[in-house]
Structure 1
Amino acid sequence: MERARIAVAGASGLIGSALVRSLTADGHEVVRLVRGAPRAAGEVRWAPEGGHVDRAGLAGCHAVVNLAGAGVGNRRWTAAYKARIRASRVHGTAALAEAVASLDEGERPRVFVNGSAIGYYGETGDRAVDESAPPGEGFLPSLCVEWENAAAPARDAGVRTVFTRTGLVVARGGGAWGRLFPLFRAGLGGRLGDGRQYWSFIALHDEVAAIRHLIDRDDLSGPFNLTAPHPVTNREVTAAMGRVLHRPALFGVPAPVLRVVLGEMAGDVLGSARVLPRRLLESGFRFAFPEIDSAIRAALR
């Protein structure tokens, strides 16, 4: 893709900041959506929960990428925090999609890339699923369905709309692995529950490359699973972390303890999601770090 203007919501998050670095390194102009008053060139104000977006800042962008949302694993799922998670994603997506749709046809972006998650599929056990699978049951699947449906105004206005159903991102700077690395380095890492649950992971490098692939390809729309092609169990993750970091994984956390500590969120930690990136592979995308060991090593470089 030639140099373009691209708007990013959630530009300060783990994935967003990596995407911004990648785009700017290649000479693209990045417009960052910020909640407060803009303080620097290239910042545009929005208030996602309130439905406000500075539409003028989106005009003429080649792409709008929405990666904003309150962290799912940041704290215990109280009723209030679940409401905040939902509002930050559903209301924010609706605000952006409506803003995109309201622009004059010649000023609308060519693509709207909206974040989603493999939580869409819920508990899959040992069963492998791809984008053709229906949503599961529970808080996260219902959230993901609402989240994706909120992008309808952009799609109905004729803007190519893509949903990135992202797995567990292997990175030092945040997410699940941001918490795992210090534990394993201290020799305190271990399996969670019985360790047989599948973790569908993706290296941060591949996550960013996949988003850019989806921006660049005019023929791609709808949901795409952003997960490496070889999901692994939590036991296999534990073993790989021990190998790469040269630390024995001696400790485990029993499922009952996780349920006491994490509450409802323990179901997400103990649940199994064996998710395959069928559509991404069919589109010609190639993973740089398809195996868990290589993804962990990439995060440490």
Structure 2
Amino acid sequence: MCGSGMTITLRRAAERLTGFSPGHPGAMERMRIAVAGASGLIGSALVRSLTADGHEVVRLVRRPAAGPHEVCWDPEGRAVEKTAAGLTGCAAVVNLAGAGIGDQRWTPSYKRQLRDSRVLGTTALAEAVAALPVPPRVFVNGSAIGIYGDTGDQVVDEEAPPGDGFLPSLCVEWEEAAAPAQEAGVRTVFARTGLVVARGGGAWGRLFPLFRAGLGGRLGDGRQYWSYIALHDEVAAIRYLIDHDTLAGPFNLTAPEPLTNREITAAMARVLRRPAPFAVPAPVLRAALGELAGDVLGSQRVVPRRLSAAGFRFAFAGIDDAIRAA
């Protein structure tokens, strides 16, 4: 693609990242929105998008608040009343906080950190939301498609049961921790996110430099399914879930057509115009990553049935477009 076609594509990508343009039929009414995890890959993009559209965004931070748009909170739940006071007037609370799944080997201590940063943090926010005299209209809580475990070639949607292993049990606890908000009658949404295609972090943040250097290749046999989503669509989907008052419960945030790791490897090489001659054997991954390798080599063919049924339209559904947008 070149010339005007590429220009249009990039313009649409920029619009999707910074938010709905004024007057867009999907644009939300101006509101006060609190975001936990605002410095992360998804959180920072969401904050940029909301701010660009004129919303008042309140960032939840662990350090002392530096201004009126920050609220100090304790993710371990030792200051629920203080957190609740900071959330006063918020129409929506979005929780994207949590230690990075792929940042370290899964030692026993890091697994505790992964769990506590999600379960304790969600409990603290849900209790703060429930304590408000006038609660927000919606509580959007992060989650992950890791809840389904290794599903092989089977296509799974939100009706699928949790799988077995550390990640599925973590995700179950993560979602269950939002119970105080649900019991208080707050519309609660679980954003079960797939692999986010972005340069700034996550799995793709590590893949892009390798492929640009001509060192990319499939992982294992490459037959495992990867359920991906462009960062632009991830942000737009979260905003869609905030804005539509009838949507509650779990939603898979993944592109409509999952692809195998082998197919994604070929797309990376094609879009970046680099060879992808290498393959990392499964034993090497297990030796290097430990228990985390099971997540890399596992197969998850997850589809966004509920999101699509609700009318959400993806801007970058295909892998080539998602890579170009990143």
TM over 0.5: yes
2:88 is the counterpart of 1:59: yes
Q: Taking structure 1 as the reference length, what is the TM-score of the superposition?
A: 0.98
Residue 234 of structure 1 aligns to which amino acid in structure 2?
A: N
2:280 is the counterpart of 1:253: yes
Pairing 1:1-301 to 2, within 5 Å after superposition: 1-53=28-80, 54-104=83-133, 107-299=134-326
Give distance in 1, aligned partners of 2:68 and 2:174. Answer: 30
Verify the 8 A CA contact 1:163 1:222 in the aligned structure 2.
yes
Verify the 8 A CA contact 1:89 1:147 in the aligned structure 2.
yes
Give distance in 2, aligned partners of 1:164 and 1:190. Answer: 30
Distance 1:32 1:196, change over 3 A: same
Residue 319 of structure 2 aligns to which amino acid in structure 1?
A: I
Q: 1:9-44 deviations in whole A, cap 9, x for unaligned? A: 000000000000000000000000000001122100
Structure 1 segments, 4+ long, off by >6 Å, are: none
Superposed CA RMSD = 0.7
Give distance in 2, aligned partners of 1:2 and 1:289. Answer: 25
3-state SS, counterpart of residue 229 of structure 2: strand
Shift of 1:2: 1.3
3-state SS, counterpart of residue 279 of structure 2: coil
Verify the 8 A CA contact 1:8 1:30 in the aligned structure 2.
yes
Size of the aligned set, in residue pairs, is 297
Give distance in 2, aligned partners of 1:67 and 1:20. Answer: 11
Give distance in 2, aligned partners of 1:137 and 1:2. Answer: 41
Residue 99 of structure 1 aligns to which amino acid in structure 2?
A: A
User: Any gaps of 5 or more consecutive residues in structure 2?
Assistant: 1-27
Q: Taking structure 2 as the reference length, what is the TM-score of the superposition?
A: 0.90
3-state SS, counterpart of residue 140 of structure 1: helix
Give distance in 1, aligned partners of 2:79 and 2:112. Answer: 19
Shift of 1:49: 2.4
3-state SS, counterpart of residue 252 of structure 1: strand
Give distance in 1, aligned partners of 2:76 and 2:285. Answer: 31
Identity in percent: 78
